[in-house]
Structure 1
């Protein structure tokens, strides 16, 4: 998920001498003796020249090496570094652990959700029955606990960034085979740091101690930027939009622009632990069949997060329409408008992967 050369000595320059002024003189010759002195000097120089030992040319003295100027020795300031999941500038070293993506239940049975307030970024995806599940991303900050933890889907292959580890309650065998085939490491019940909260009912009582888990996960390279980051000044003007609702079928998520950010008005998170969204990014996606049914008999959908689709970026009480593209399931997310590339202002972003068919998005001024 990372902190000089000794001061350079520059000799003082010689004092400037005003035009027409005299340099300090230790002794002045009397005017009457000046001609005699000049004649004596000339005679001495001729005598010395006659005593020379050959025709060798006089070698000029080597010029002393010039001292580099302060502008040449001043080191350029280091390039700033940024958090990959928020685009915000980072001070200090990067974490030694990878991005940790935790699958979190998003039904009323999950209330209160724990740990969402510490997430860098959240992706909401469709699951069976028209409900949704959250993929909460942690890197710059890791909460002590997170939950309720639920299962993975094949959709996660297109959501989880390269090098990340997933914390999950497990998955159907066909999904586990695909997740393993994609090279995504995961942690589940039975691993250290994953536990059952006895005050809740199963299956909504599985939690994870992310602080503990992160200490045993190691990473060699920093993750790449998850979104194309920029600043608010980079955004096109767009249109006004202070409220929006992403409808997945049986579940919808609503947002309201308040005090410079977006508040999830139907959140299941604990009070004071809600995700602090600076922007909401809605991406319309294709959805297919994962090829099996859940225990209740519902067909399991699979979000096809690749190719391209419509994108709507909500920021600052406005909406900018554009297009998203992604080269394969593991490709980078790119955004654009008809006028060029679109960058997301650095901050905490909630991404809504709304089905292009059987899903809906509404917003108002």
Structure 2
């Protein structure tokens, strides 16, 4: 009996030791699992980022707020313009003859002073509508007036607010001297009971680290010609240090009048679209819905693409997919199909 008792005790001690070993071996693993979960949650927090919808630039806080689209004068007497360096996107199209105007769209930055503000055309209104932007102009063509007075887009016009929300500069002569501040835009919004909560639809952007992988034809500079007269022609030059394109017009670099800050562009999107004169004044209809040929310049490279109007956004497309933009500001040149971009745009590799 004593022998059996001793044997039983030995077995119990052995089992107890095994259990203790199991407990000690499992406890560190459980702690490791908890630590892994904490690290995973921290990594997930770090991965969460917000991006401005029109530039793709990262933000520390959630992005909201409506875009503001302003008609800006591009007559030589209106240069340099105010606020232009802070525009997320600029659309450049012919107003009449060979003179272009800009539709400068602001959302990620809010310049103090913007202008000179110029009169509206229907196709610029459509571009603003596509981004659900508040539309700012001073004057209008007859076709544009009908759209604005029908509340096709929320808008503020200098024909109504000249001398109140819109101010005239004494440094320039009319019609090159109408300006509006961002503060007065917000005052107008309050007066007309507009909402500024609608965030614009986002474009497709590549990740910052992907822009070094862009391929295509080398295009260190490009000349965009709107006419033989050259009054609205522009030149873009790639700056390798910043990874951006500088813009020049009339021999001068495009800078902001208020700050002397240069316009630096991550994307130059050049497209052709049908233009048709419809009255004796020379007003145009511009087809921004049918799509067509395009060039996309990024990081000193050019790629041939097509363009499409996708729910109001003019986007570059290749093989049916939207081509991602480099994070940053974009300039869109819209040229007539006659003579077309092949004849109107030239590139230099170096």
TM-score w.r.t. structure 2 length?
0.76
Q: 1:222 aligns with which of 199, 202, 217?
A: 199
User: Which is richer in helix?
Assistant: 2
Measured after TM superposition, the shift of residue 268 of structure 1 is 5.4
Q: 1:349 aligns with which of 294, 306, 330?
A: 330
- Match for residue 361 of structure 1? 345
Is residue 157–residue 182 contact of structure 1 (8 Å, CA) maintained in 2? no
In structure 2, C-alpha distance between the alignment counterparts of 1:135 and 1:194, rounded to whole Å: 17
Matches within 5 A, 1:176-325: 176-181=145-150, 183-189=152-158, 190-191=160-161, 192-214=164-186, 216=190, 218-225=195-202, 227-231=203-207, 232-233=210-211, 236-249=214-227, 250=229, 251-258=232-239, 259=241, 260-266=243-249, 267=253, 269=255, 270=257, 272-289=260-277, 291-293=278-280, 298-325=281-308
Is residue 239–residue 319 contact of structure 1 (8 Å, CA) maintained in 2? yes
**Once superposed, what is the RMSD of the aligned Cα atoms?**
3.0
- Match for residue 108 of structure 1? 76
Measured after TM superposition, the shift of residue 157 of structure 1 is 3.3
SS for the counterpart of 1:248 is coil
In structure 2, C-alpha distance between the alignment counterparts of 1:100 and 1:108, rounded to whole Å: 24
Change (3 A) 1:332 1:115: closer
Is residue 248–residue 254 contact of structure 2 (8 Å, CA) maintained in 1? no
Q: Deviations over 1:212-259 (max 9, x none)?
A: 42364633332111x332244486511111111111124211111123
In structure 2, C-alpha distance between the alignment counterparts of 1:229 and 1:38, rounded to whole Å: 75
In structure 2, C-alpha distance between the alignment counterparts of 1:182 and 1:322, rounded to whole Å: 35
Is residue 312–residue 319 contact of structure 1 (8 Å, CA) maintained in 2? yes
Q: Deviations over 1:109-160 (max 9, x none)?
A: 1023111111112111111111100111111111110110001111113321
Change (3 A) 1:104 1:38: same
**Number of aligned pairs?**
300
In structure 2, C-alpha distance between the alignment counterparts of 1:123 and 1:36, rounded to whole Å: 96
In structure 2, C-alpha distance between the alignment counterparts of 1:105 and 1:279, rounded to whole Å: 22
SS for the counterpart of 1:256 is strand
TM-score w.r.t. structure 1 length?
0.73
Measured after TM superposition, the shift of residue 210 of structure 1 is 1.4
| Consecutive unaligned residues in structure 2, runs of 5 or more | 9-29
Q: Does 1:144 align with 2:112?
A: yes
In structure 2, C-alpha distance between the alignment counterparts of 1:338 and 1:37, rounded to whole Å: 83
Change (3 A) 1:361 1:158: farther
Measured after TM superposition, the shift of residue 358 of structure 1 is 3.5
- Match for residue 4 of structure 1? none
| Consecutive unaligned residues in structure 1, runs of 5 or more | 1-31, 40-65
Change (3 A) 1:288 1:105: same
Q: Deviations over 1:314-357 (max 9, x none)?
A: 11111111111125xx4333422359542111111111111121
